[in-house]
A = this chain, B = another copy of it.
Amino acid sequence: MAYFDNAATSWPKPEEVYKTVENVMRNFGGNPGRSGHKKALEAARLIYEAREVIAEFLNAESPTNIVFTMNATDALNIAIKGVLRPGDHVITSSMEHNSVARPIYALTKCGVEWDIVKCASDGTLDPEDVLKAIKPNTRLIAMTHASNVTGTVMPVEEIGKIAREREIVFLVDAAQSIGVLDIDVKKLNIDLLAFPGHKGLYGPQGTGGLYVREGIKLTPLKQGGTGSFSEELMQPDILPDLLEAGTLNTPGIAGLAEGVRFLKKMGLSRIRTHEEMLARRFLEGLEKIEGITVYGCPKQRSEVAVISLNLKNLDSSELAFLLDSRYDIQVRPGLHCSPLAHKTIGTIERGTVRFSFSIFNTIEEVEKALSALEEISSEIG
């Protein structure tokens, strides 16, 4: 088996993640932030420690600037709908995932204006084009950090600077970058960073988060019990309570914290080096296979180990099916929930087959994938 679908959800996870989730369920079963007895306090401590480890990982001001969510999509909805009001203008790239595009599209039905800045056909974005799209009512620039289709990395630092100088809120979707690229929210001028827990951070599914810069005021998407200021019908106006209603996923979040500790112990550069090595070998091998088209920017193809390809005229679903059923190789075909990106790179009709690597993939698995592709290529002539 070779699991190359880490951009959808990473698997396997580090052993400590499995163990922590189980241990927390069995032995730390209280409701964090409620009650006040020892089991509730233990749960609250686990959650706070998770905020701490993630805040440090992102160079956030404080653990309270980390809000836990169900997944990155939840975080993106909280961010986008927390900022935009009718009459506001929002700018995105043309490489966005539906988790950015669909919430914004829904808001355009309520008077929000949306401009999509066109990327080149390799997925790259010129920050000048973002600058040109800014209007007096631009309130938000929302952008993926790295494309989930081509792995293309966006110039977030430059765009962050452009946004900050104009007091435009800058939201980054770190779905494919967190746990791989260095993210220092201060250095990159990021106001809001939405991230999944279950991809590059190696946490369990059902986790994600939103970094909210101190001073950025969001209208909450959801209200409910917080275990704080319970006498008030208004959602408490402090972070993280303002954006966290209801019982958190304590075992999941404790597992996520273990995932981040694993990354810190390994060091992001080691992870990146390993994944880049796999990606480079894969790309090198692909060059020798007849009929392979690789999408995205050649210079960046190995930076975030997400590689989209097609083989001759084969349907992407058919190729993925052959790889899975005959070679036990798991990849993702189709549009990867990113129609805008596929329009940009010219693959909206057939989609692509995506290979995405993690620290747990091996060079042997990559060789196996290359042999499989070679065999399929020669078979279909």
The chain B residue sitting closest to A78, CB to CB, is B222
Asked if B337 and A226 sit within 8 Å, CB to CB, the answer is: yes
Cα–Cα, bound, A22→B204 (Å): 10
A240 to chain B, nearest CB (A): 14
Asked if B70 and A246 sit within 8 Å, CB to CB, the answer is: yes
Interface hub of A30, A37, A348 (most chain B Cβ within 10 A): A37
1/0 per position for A267-297, CB-CB distance to B under 8 A? 0000000000000000000000000000000
1/0 per position for A62-73, CB-CB distance to B under 8 A? 000000011111
If over half of A's interface residues share one DSSP class (helix, strand or loop), that class is named, otherwise mixed; here it is: loop
The segment from A126-134, A247-255, A365-373 found at the interface with B is A247-255
Of residues 2 to 54 in A, which have CB atoms within 8 Å of B's CB atoms?
3, 5, 8-13, 17-18, 21-22, 25-26, 29-31, 34-40
Chain B residue numbers with a CB within 8 Å of A246 are 70-74, 99, 208
Chain B residue numbers with a CB within 8 Å of A252 are 204-206, 249, 252
1/0 per position for A218-257, CB-CB distance to B under 8 A? 0011111111001111110000000001111111100000
- Indicate which residue in B220, B249, B335 contacts A106 across the interface (CB closer than 8 Å): B220
Q: Does A320 contact B (CB under 8 A)?
A: yes
Tell whether A320 pairs with B37 under 8 Å between CB atoms, given A70-B74, A73-B246, A337-B227: yes
Of residues 160 to 199 in A, which have CB atoms within 8 Å of B's CB atoms?
196, 198
Cα–Cα, bound, A106→B222 (Å): 9
Cα–Cα, bound, A89→B224 (Å): 20
Asked if B204 and A331 sit within 8 Å, CB to CB, the answer is: no
A23 to chain B, nearest CB (A): 10
A294 to chain B, nearest CB (A): 19
Asked if A5 and B330 sit within 8 Å, CB to CB, the answer is: no
Cα–Cα, bound, A105→B231 (Å): 13
Q: Does A344 contact B (CB under 8 A)?
A: no
The chain B residue sitting closest to A5, CB to CB, is B35
Asked if A5 and B40 sit within 8 Å, CB to CB, the answer is: yes
- Indicate which residue in B37, B221, B230, B332 contacts A339 across the interface (CB closer than 8 Å): B230
Tell whether A99 pairs with B231 under 8 Å between CB atoms, given A3-B39, A30-B9, A206-B206: no
Q: Does A154 contact B (CB under 8 A)?
A: no
Chain B residue numbers with a CB within 8 Å of A17 are 25
Asked if A251 and B320 sit within 8 Å, CB to CB, the answer is: no
Asked if B332 and A35 sit within 8 Å, CB to CB, the answer is: yes
Asked if A335 and B70 sit within 8 Å, CB to CB, the answer is: no
Asked if A321 and B36 sit within 8 Å, CB to CB, the answer is: yes
Chain B residue numbers with a CB within 8 Å of A69 are 70
Chain B residue numbers with a CB within 8 Å of A321 are 36
Asked if A13 and B29 sit within 8 Å, CB to CB, the answer is: yes
Q: Does A338 contact B (CB under 8 A)?
A: yes
Asked if A13 and B25 sit within 8 Å, CB to CB, the answer is: yes
Asked if A339 and B233 sit within 8 Å, CB to CB, the answer is: yes
Q: Does A151 contact B (CB under 8 A)?
A: no
Asked if B221 and A221 sit within 8 Å, CB to CB, the answer is: yes
Chain B residue numbers with a CB within 8 Å of A377 are none
7 A-B pairs besides A36-B332, A69-B70 with CB distance below 8 A are: A13-B25, A40-B330, A70-B246, A73-B225, A73-B246, A77-B224, A205-B251
Chain B residue numbers with a CB within 8 Å of A9 are 29-31, 34, 247
24 A-B contacts (beta carbon < 8 Å): A3-B29, A9-B29, A21-B21, A22-B22, A30-B330, A36-B324, A69-B70, A70-B246, A73-B222, A73-B245, A76-B224, A97-B224, A98-B225, A99-B225, A102-B223, A102-B225, A205-B252, A221-B221, A221-B222, A227-B337, A230-B334, A230-B338, A233-B339, A249-B252
